[in-house]
Amino acid sequence: MDAPFFVYILASKRNGTLYVGVTNNLARRVAEHKAKLVPGFTRKYGVDLLVYFEAFDSVLEARAREHAMKRWRRAWKIELIEKLNPDWRDLADQLNS
């Protein structure tokens, strides 16, 4: 977790509502989503399970990847999640260890 920027996907449940975001502190950002501190989409739709993330060395790379993923078809995002996290486990627990 040494890379300074992350692109992440949150889900409301398996095959539920998806959200793609970018941050420089993944553990803090996911905690904010879980505590419903972030007004807007994720709070409104209960999207707080961290099901996928990627690390980047530059903010430009991370933002470019986030922008691309936001334009993806839903099926592509689900395929990406299931390739690395087939059980849709909440990966937030791994962030603090």
Q: What's the CATH code of the domain at 13?
A: 3.40.1440.10
What total number of domains does the chain contain? 1
Smallest Cα–Cα separation from 23: which of 55, 68, 51, 48? 55
pLDDT digit string (tens) for the chain, length 97 residues: 567 999 999 999 999 999 999 999 999 999 999 999 988 999 999 999 999 999 999 999 999 999 999 999 999 999 999 999 999 999 998 886 5
Range of the domain at 67: 5-95
Smallest Cα–Cα separation from 7: which of 48, 49, 66? 66
